[in-house]
Structure 1
Amino acid sequence: MESTASQAAATTTDWGEKAWKLLASVRRESPLVQCITNYVSMDLMANTLLAAGASPAMLHSIDEIPDFTPCAHSLCVNIGTLSPSWLPAMKAAAALSSKLGKPWVLDPVAVGASSFRMKACLELVDFKPTVIRGNASEIIALSRASASTDSAKGVDSIHDSLDAIEAAKLLAQTSGSIVAVSGATDIVTDGKQVVGAHNGVAMMQTITATGCSVSALITAFVAVDKLHALDAAISALSIFGVAGELGMKMAKGPASLRMHLIDSLYGLDEAAVLSHVKITSLS
């Protein structure tokens, strides 16, 4: 029993060191992260990236894709306020990123809300995102895209993240992407291995665009280590959760938590990361 506890502690320490190394790399390299996202999330996503040390570019005009996307280190596509006028730019940027071997992340916001969203996401998945990050309901809906009984209709998740493990594994296997599911326990899988991050506070769910922002943070992390996308994704989720935990100690409600979360992410040091990151194997 002591041996098992020691192994668990060692594993946690290893993950903490990986997470810190990735955050330090983001701060040192300041990757340029192109975000094609929604009006609701632009502000918090940009500030999350800046607080982590990355350089955000909220650029969505299709006319700029050929010139700008090759210069970016990674791409985040978020369909939160999807419209027909934006979809061609999303597809063009995703296609170009894949062609150039640049990592990119798909956030399928409310993918089950309409056939338009589902079709758009399936088309985007064809461009081989490095990571697909959503809540449990979004991942289940996308994984079961061929079924007609999907019940997820909005942005909020009606499932627990652990309910989506098998759907996430299936989606990872069929898409070739790393799949991340946000929830009380954040999970990440490559279709075989499943790891969980046990960080964060419930109040983060009451702040608009925290999910979108962690997708952006994942995009920054994969920019500095695209060969280990699973490690990058789970580390970003845990780091964002740690910032939420530290911010909550100073917050009085959602509005002040939003502010203190950004401040805490900006101020994270090695000791805080090593002592707070909680990542475990779930498979």
Structure 2
Amino acid sequence: MSHSSLALTIGFAAEAVREEGPRVQCVAPRAATPFVAEALQGAGARPLVTGTSPDALEAAHGAQAVVLDLATLTAEWNDAIVTTTARLAADGTPWVLDLTRLGDLPLHAERVDALLANRPAIVRVNPDEISGFGAPGLDAAIVWGDSAERVTFGGREVKVPLGSAMLAQIPGVRTAVSALMGTCTVVTGRLEAALAGAAWLALASERAEEQSRGPASFRTALVDALWTVRGDEIAEYLNL
């Protein structure tokens, strides 16, 4: 895909999300829940943000995309999540795996391997937490860095602007970016979805900073900016 066609596809993806209002479930840490829900609503999606209870995981099968933050699972391994993601893969439902540690606790290789075997569409990796990440045969877009600053897929790498420094003041931003990526997988391909989700929030954050006086007003302005940023502006922001 050429740079111009990639940009065009990304622009259409954001508008398609607003038009279709996809149902997205995000299994997220409790502290991230409020902002993730607000961000997805700001983008036009219909969110369900949950923990890892059996009922919550069962609800994933009614979603059009699912986002799994591994920090939710590190302290307590839940075998049901492997079964859940296996069913998602079998049904063709796109899902995102965020390999985030819970504090200083290490990630368990067997947990990661079991989930990667169920073919996530997008995998988020922080090189500072996971050195030498590689999954041979994994057909997923890999999003690198805590701020999603670059995306690789099929031998291609695209850099993404970091957005406003004010994002560091909002709990749940990383999970919200993953959720936006997952939302976009409903309407477009893996590379395009990863780039659209990351750039959508980054651009919105820059717009929000211009209108805010501190973290509280920035958060409100950010949700509003997610609502108003156009798809063609997101594509232009990536400078493809």
Which interval holds the TM-score relative to the shorter structure?
Answer: 0.7 to 0.9
Separation (CA, whole Å) in 1 of partners of 2:148 and 2:63: 31
1:78-129 CA deviation, whole Å, 9 max, x = no partner?
A: 1224356562342232111011111000011127943454442232112111
| 1:221 alignment partner, one of 158, 173, 184 | 184
C-alpha displacement of 1:271: 6.0
Aligned: 1:278 with 2:218? no
Where does residue 105 of structure 2 map in the other structure?
A: 114
Separation (CA, whole Å) in 2 of partners of 1:70 and 1:218: 18
Separation (CA, whole Å) in 2 of partners of 1:219 and 1:185: 14
Where does residue 268 of structure 1 map in the other structure?
A: 229
| 2:163 alignment partner, one of 176, 182, 200 | 200
Where does residue 190 of structure 1 map in the other structure?
A: 153
Where does residue 10 of structure 2 map in the other structure?
A: 19
Equivalent position SS for 2:54: coil
> Against the structure 1 CA distance between its residues 209 and 135, is the aligned structure 2 distance closer, same or farther, given a 3 Å change threshold?
farther
Q: Which has the higher contact order (CA 8 A, sep 6+)?
A: 2
Contact 1:112/1:141, CA 8 A, preserved across alignment:
no
Work out the number of aligned pairs and report it.
238
What's the C-alpha RMSD, in Å, of the aligned pairs?
Answer: 2.6
Correspondence 1:38-187 to 2 at 5 A: 38-59=29-50, 60-63=52-55, 65-66=57-58, 68-82=59-73, 87-110=78-101, 113-115=104-106, 117-138=108-129, 140-141=130-131, 143=133, 170-171=134-135, 173-182=136-145, 186-187=149-150
1:131-164 CA deviation, whole Å, 9 max, x = no partner?
A: 00233324x4371xxxxxxxxxxxxxxxxxxxxx
Aligned: 1:240 with 2:236? no
What's the TM-score, normalizing by structure 2? Answer: 0.86
Equivalent position SS for 1:87: coil
Contact 1:31/1:223, CA 8 A, preserved across alignment:
yes
Separation (CA, whole Å) in 2 of partners of 1:125 and 1:248: 37
- The more displaced of 46-55 and 182-191 is 182-191
Contact 1:214/1:237, CA 8 A, preserved across alignment:
yes
Separation (CA, whole Å) in 2 of partners of 1:121 and 1:50: 29
1:11-59 CA deviation, whole Å, 9 max, x = no partner?
A: 4x65543332111111111111111111011111111111101111124
Separation (CA, whole Å) in 1 of partners of 2:78 and 2:239: 35
1:224-267 CA deviation, whole Å, 9 max, x = no partner?
A: 22xx2111111111111100110111122333222211110012
What's the TM-score, normalizing by structure 1? Answer: 0.74
What percent of counterpart residues are identical?
25
Separation (CA, whole Å) in 2 of partners of 1:78 and 1:36: 6
> Against the structure 1 CA distance between its residues 79 and 64, is the aligned structure 2 distance closer, same or farther, given a 3 Å change threshold?
closer
Q: Which amino acid aligns with 1:77?
A: L
- The more displaced of 203-212 and 34-43 is 203-212
